[in-house]
């Protein structure tokens, strides 16, 4: 593809995350433009299109995929629709950026990867921490051997407030929240793969919903095939702000990443020390979200493989599916497809 061609992007899903990606696509990606928006919710696509001065609006995502003027799509629809949208977009010859998770089952993931490969289109998944400066630098430090051999790893996600648990799909804590942490741990332990998981989880914030399959607190222990042991943890109500952190302890040192603070400003007052904190993922990780879309457009243009690929999404999903099984059984579970 020409290095001077403007990449025309179509957005599928105009909710909270779709609106954020739409704004990034419209304002912060040199060499690309947001050309169309699709959302089946009445008025949703039109509202965002008016805000971002986008001319084409669809209520049927397939209409957007059939538009010959669209080069690539950003999928930010509900998670349970992701895999089929990836497959349809690939078959339409569009490059695909898909918010996590790319799929809910491993069969869906395999079909999505195969569709992109058959169509020879870019497939990138929204694992934004790979594009956050501290996590990216930590990954490169591990690759360079600066902390020796990774032995202990940790990744955590704590959301600032629990939304309506009644509207949350089953296993959301593994499939849509901790999926980030599973990918992060693989990223911070490059070349290694998870072989076994053990889960402890509960509904500590909204216990009335546990019987409905909703969990809001979890700790996952993961063993990797290079001997490293990792923990991933999540909670849906950190009252102090949106909290994303990581750690790698190795034979020659340690790396830590992430900071809940809004800035390095500290207030030393009569009642103690105080700092402002971020309350939204799109604030805490704003630069990473923008960077991942710029990377996607670059890959569409060059044909290079994205830093967060369909295969990476499948590997994180395999960990998540093993976590569901481990919770149900109360025992350690081997990750499907793990190397012997």
Tokens at 230, concatenated = 């990792």
pLDDT in tens, 277-303: 999 998 899 999 999 999 999 999 999
pLDDT in tens, 17-64: 999 999 999 999 999 999 999 999 999 999 999 999 999 999 999 999
Q: Taking 90 as the threshold, does the pLDDT of residue 193 lie above it?
A: yes
Say how many C-beta atoms besides its own lie within 10 A of residue 305's C-beta. 13
Q: What is the mean pLDDT of residues 126-153?
A: 98
Domains defined for the chain, CATH in brackets: 5-120 (3.40.50.720), 128-285+314-332 (3.30.360.10)
Please report which helix (H) or strand (E) contains residue 275, including its range: none
Q: What is the mean pLDDT of residues 330-336?
A: 97
At 213 the pLDDT is: 83
Q: Taking 90 as the threshold, does the pLDDT of residue 137 lie above it?
A: yes
Q: Taking 60 as the threshold, does the pLDDT of residue 339 lie above it?
A: no
Q: What is the mean pLDDT of residues 152-173?
A: 94
Helix axes 82-91, 106-119, angle to 10 degrees: 20
Dihedral over alpha carbons 87, 91, 92, 97 (to 10 degrees): 40
At 4 the pLDDT is: 74
Q: List C-alpha distances in Å: 282 to 16, 157, 165, 279, 286.
A: 10, 14, 21, 9, 5
pLDDT in tens, 233-249: 999 999 999 999 999 99
At 340 the pLDDT is: 47
Cβ contacts of 122 within 8 Å, gap of 6 or more: 72, 95, 96, 97, 116, 296, 299, 300, 303, 306
Q: What is the mean pLDDT of residues 149-167?
A: 95
Measured distance CA(198)–CA(331) in Å, rounded: 6
Q: Taking 90 as the threshold, does the pLDDT of residue 251 lie above it?
A: yes
- pTM of the entire predicted model: 0.96
Q: What is the mean pLDDT of residues 203-223?
A: 95
Check: CB of residue 314 under 8 Å from CB of residue 110: yes
Q: Taking 90 as the threshold, does the pLDDT of residue 304 lie above it?
A: yes
> What percentage of the chain has pLDDT greater than the value 90?
93
Lowest mean pLDDT among 161-170, 185-194, 298-307: 161-170
Q: List C-alpha distances in Å: 69 to 25, 26, 56, 92, 118.
A: 16, 16, 11, 12, 21
Q: Taking 50 as the threshold, does the pLDDT of residue 166 lie above it?
A: yes
- Rounded to the nearest integer, the mean pLDDT of the chain is 96
Q: Between these two residues, 3 and 228, which has the higher pLDDT value?
A: 228
Q: Using 50, 70 and 90 to split pLDDT, how confident is the model at 217?
A: very high
Measured distance CA(315)–CA(323) in Å, rounded: 13
pLDDT in tens, 69-91: 999 999 999 999 999 999 999 99
């Amino acid at each position: 593809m020409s290095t001077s061609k403007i990449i025309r992007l179509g957005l599928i899903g105009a909710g909270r995350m779709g609106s954020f990606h739409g704004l990034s696509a419209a304002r912060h990606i040199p060499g690309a433009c947001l050309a169309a928006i699709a959302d089946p919710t009445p008025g949703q696509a039109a509202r965002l299109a008016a805000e971002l001065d986008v001319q084409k609006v669809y209520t049927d995502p397939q209409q957007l995929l059939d538009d010959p003027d669209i080069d690539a799509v950003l999928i930010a629809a509900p998670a349970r629709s992701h895999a089929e949208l990836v497959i349809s977009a690939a078959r339409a010859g569009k490059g695909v950026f898909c918010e996590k998770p790319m799929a809910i089952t491993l069969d869906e993931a395999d079909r999505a990867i195969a569709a992109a490969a058959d169509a020879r289109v870019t497939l990138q998944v929204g694992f934004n921490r790979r594009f956050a400066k501290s996590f990216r630098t930590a990954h490169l430090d591990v690759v360079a051997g600066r902390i020796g051999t990774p032995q202990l790893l940790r990744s955590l996600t704590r959301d600032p407030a629990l939304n309506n648990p009644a509207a949350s799909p089953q296993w959301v804590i593994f499939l849509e929240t901790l999926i980030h942490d599973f990918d992060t741990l693989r990223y911070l332990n490059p070349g290694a793969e998870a072989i076994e998981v053990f889960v402890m989880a509960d509904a500590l914030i909204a216990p009335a919903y546990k019987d409905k399959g909703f969990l809001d607190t979890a700790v996952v222990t993961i063993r990797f095939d290079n001997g490293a042991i990792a923990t991933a943890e999540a909670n849906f109500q950190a009252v102090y702000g949106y909290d994303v952190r990581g750690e790698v302890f190795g034979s020659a040192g340690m790396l830590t990443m992430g900071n809940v603070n809004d800035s390095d400003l500290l207030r030393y007052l009569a009642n103690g020390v105080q700092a402002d904190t971020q309350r939204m993922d799109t604030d805490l990780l704003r630069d990473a979200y923008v960077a991942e879309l710029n990377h996607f457009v670059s890959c569409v243009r060059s044909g290079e493989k994205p830093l967060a690929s369909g295969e990476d999404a499948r590997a994180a999903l395999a960990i998540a599916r093993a976590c569901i099984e481990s919770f149900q059984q109360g025992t350690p579970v081997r990750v499907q497809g793990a190397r012997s």
